[in-house]
Structure 1
Amino acid sequence: MNGILFVGDPHGEFGPILKRAEAMLPDAIVLLGDQTPDRPLADVLGRWAERTWYILGNHDSDQEQYLVRHLDSMPDRNLNARVRPVAGVGIAGLGGVFRSQVWYPPGPPKWTGRAELVRYTKPALRFRSGPALQHWTSIFPEDVQALASLHADVLVTHEAPSTHRYGFEVLDDLAWDMGVRFVVHGHHHEPCYEAELLGGIHVVGLGKGEMMEWRQG
């Protein structure tokens, strides 16, 4: 097994990722959000698209085309709110960020799910019959609830758990509920750090464009 390549916020810079992939030959690549691709994601990744999974970051809804280049190109590779077997490892994903218009823990949510928000969103502001563009990358309580009842080995998030000074304890709770051994996140554009949650759950935060090779064991 050659392992999994986790990648922090590419922000459109895929050359280093592809170069690293050709050297490492990973079994899978997992992108931690803020891809902001300038072409359909599958085209950008080329032969590595069939081995790549992703979650969305807050900047992936800055422009409609960023979102379209994920959803129309590789819709089945979005890990958000589900668990998938990736190179023999159960990986769960929670994309997006907490926003006060939806839910900003530890405060109570304003909306529990997307369908509820959509009903109160003017049709002209909806994107593809869903919420407004920005809220395609907002975290809803229904996402966390969907994951909490599942089991995974690894949880990938865009937001950070409480190991980061701007992190959220609700993600600690989610990791414990799911029984994961490892959490990896992006978003903060700071140098890579490692920490542990209670229960020995290992956490790694990856900065902008940072990559980490991970092997189970």
Structure 2
Amino acid sequence: MILFCGDPHGEFQRLLVHAETTRPDAIILLGDQTPDRPLAEVMGVWAERTWYILGNHDSDREEFLIRHLDSMPDRNLHARVRPVAGVGVAGLGGVFRGQVWHPPDPPEWTDRAEFVRCTRPAHRFRRGPALRHWTSIFPEDVRALARLHADVLVTHEAPTTHPHGFEVLDNLARDMGVRLVVHGHHHEPCHDAELFSGILVVGLGMGEVLELRQG
């Protein structure tokens, strides 16, 4: 069983109690963790079974980002597919921002490396983009995923099953051949939406936990 957790915003107790009760094979965090200490410490005995994507608020402060990247650098699902408890899970963290790309408008930048080169060195974080844009979605992230196959796509932003969702995520889910999309960000539970022919979309509320049983 895999547990998905909507935006914890620093409050992990509900998830940890649920994990102790259900003993999942894996846990996936959908962004806006904003942990108050290294994420591996927060997750404790569950850290080795935990994967995550970043949300927009995870780059509000340097320490939030550091507590992910330094604590669990290999568990970030962004722009890749990983086998998680026997399920192929893809991740797209962050949000669309007008300074980079806000569909359906054309992108301001298509290449992250070029964006960084045009960012003043004093404004860069760890030789990358400015702190805020560590959680901005670039077109190259979507293109990279669209070439891959997965069973489940986890995103922070929503597809068009939410009024503020994005068609580009509908198309990504279709191109990847997923059967399930799980997203956070909007703090509004939505468990019965569907894209195209049979792609289920689940939006999780703040701290809400969803169980996915394999098979």
Q: Which amino acid in structure 2 is aligned with residue 32 of structure 1?
A: L
SS in 1 for 2:27: strand
Regions of 4+ moved over 4 Å: none
CA contact (8 A) 1:32 1:156 kept: yes
Partner of 2:112: 114
Partner of 2:196: 198
| 2:30 aligned with 1:32 | yes
1:15 positional shift? 1.0
Matches within 5 A, 1:101-140: 101-140=99-138
Q: Which amino acid in structure 2 is aligned with residue 175 of structure 1?
A: A
1:114 positional shift? 1.4
CA contact (8 A) 1:194 1:205 kept: no
CA contact (8 A) 1:32 1:57 kept: yes
1:116 positional shift? 1.0
Partner of 1:86: 84
Query: In structure 2, how many angstroms separate the alpha carbons of the residues matched to 1:163 and 1:190?
Result: 12
Matches within 5 A, 1:95-174: 95-174=93-172
Partner of 2:21: 23
Gaps of 5+ in 2: none
TM-score of the superposed pair, with normalisation by structure 1:
0.98
Query: In structure 2, how many angstroms separate the alpha carbons of the residues matched to 1:194 and 1:54?
Result: 23
TM-score of the superposed pair, with normalisation by structure 2:
0.99
Gaps of 5+ in 1: none
Deviation track 1:105-138 (CA, whole Å, cap 9, x = no partner) reads 0010001121010011000000000000000000
1:45 to 43, 46, 54: 43
1:65 to 39, 63, 66: 63
Query: In structure 2, how many angstroms separate the alpha carbons of the residues matched to 1:160 and 1:79?
Result: 16
Query: In structure 1, how many angstroms separate the alpha carbons of the residues matched to 2:210 and 2:111?
Result: 33
1:27 positional shift? 0.3
SS in 2 for 1:162: coil
Query: In structure 1, how many angstroms separate the alpha carbons of the residues matched to 2:16 and 2:174?
Result: 33
Q: Which amino acid in structure 1 is aligned with residue 127 of structure 2?
A: S
SS in 2 for 1:204: strand
Aligned residue pair count:
215
Give the root-mean-square deviation of aligned CA atoms: 0.6
CA contact (8 A) 2:189 2:202 kept: no
| 2:87 aligned with 1:55 | no
Query: In structure 2, how many angstroms separate the alpha carbons of the residues matched to 1:92 and 1:199?
Result: 20
Query: In structure 1, how many angstroms separate the alpha carbons of the residues matched to 2:148 and 2:192?
Result: 25
Question: Percent identical across equivalent pairs?
Answer: 78
2:7 to 6, 9, 19: 9
SS in 2 for 1:116: helix
